Amino acid sequence: MEFAHSSRFEPSWSSLAAASDFWPLGAHVTLSQAVVSQLRARIVSGVLAPGTLLPETALAQQLKVSATPIREAMATLASEGLVEIEAHRLKRVAPLDMIVTRDLLRVQAELWRLGYQWGMPRICPEQVSLLDEAITRYRAALASGEHMAAIFAGLDFHTVFIMASDNRELLRSTLDRRGLIARFIFLHGIQMVSSIGLSQHEAILAAFKADDHAGVLACLDRMSARLLTLCDRNEQSATFIREV
């Protein structure tokens, strides 16, 4: 799926009405949190394409809120790397640079591996149930062709292990980058959301249930390598297009 880059605000979001479902808001959220969820979903899905300008007035009118929650949401999304705030407070959806993305994926691969190492000894039966449930959601999303739901089911699966590490800094450094990873996969690596991707998650869970922690890490390393290879291919393609 391809999305054209745009330098203007796109006012029509009806094509992704349920996008915010991938970040459940719960019963008690602030207005700015609700706005963050709405905008994040549309950035990750490409409805708001990389490079799109984000004028606060237009956003506030579209979402029927004041400028304050928009500004607060922009600050949050900027901290997640999804929005850039430039000179004169100009805001835009962060471009998707493959070299920067590769650096992100390399760092996240190491952090996720650390999260798995620290988290596996602390996984409880309730968390094993969450792992099973994430795989069930992944399988159902594949069957129905809901690629974004499958991506977040996979991310939720990895997050269970990282959460079990109970390391706040590790959690902050990984959870804040989930949106960037999801955007890259959805816009440039949708082929990873497949039966092969599902089988890799299933292999991790099978190895963990067999108390084969080395096997878990080996599976995780293969998944990380696959993502990095995909990023390299996209960078090579972009370089070829620029040179032509």
Q: For residue 42, what are its two tokens?
A: 């549309």
Q: pLDDT band for position 244 (50/70/90)? A: very low
8 Å CB contact between 120 and 164:
yes
- Asked whether the beta carbons of 46 and 187 are under 8 A apart, the reply is yes
Task: Tell me what the mean pLDDT of segment 17-35 comes to.
Answer: 57
Q: Which of 126, 125, 147 is nearest to 198 (CA)?
A: 147
Q: How far apart are CA 180 and CA 83, in angstroms?
A: 10
Q: Closest by alpha carbon to 216, among 173, 152, 158?
A: 158
Over residues 184-200, the pLDDT tens digits come to 999 998 888 999 999 99
Tokens of 168: 């706040």
Tell me the mean pLDDT in the region 56-75: 92
pLDDT > 90 in the chain, percent: 74
pLDDT value at position 24? 41
Burial annotation 60-69 (CB, 10 A radius, 16+ → b, else e): bebbebeeeb
Q: How confident is the model at residue 236 (pLDDT cuts 50, 70, 90)?
A: low
Q: In the predicted model, is pLDDT for residue 6 greater than 50?
A: no
| Range in 144-158, 203-217, 225-239 the model is least confident about | 225-239
| Residue bearing the bigger pLDDT, 97 or 244 | 97
Identity of residue 126: E
Q: Is 201 exposed, middle or buried (0-12, 13-18, 19+ CB in 10 A)?
A: buried
- Residue 226: pLDDT over 50: yes
Vertex 162 angle, CA 158 and 163, to 5°: 110
77 phi/psi in degrees, rounded to 5: -70, -30
pLDDT value of residue 242? 45
Q: What is the pTM of this model?
A: 0.82
Q: Tell me, what's the pLDDT at 234? A: 82
> In percent, how much of the chain has pLDDT > 70?
84
Closest C-alpha among 136, 167, 175 to residue 154: 136
Q: How far is CA 44 from CA 151, 166, 200, 216, 234, in A?
A: 11, 27, 23, 28, 18
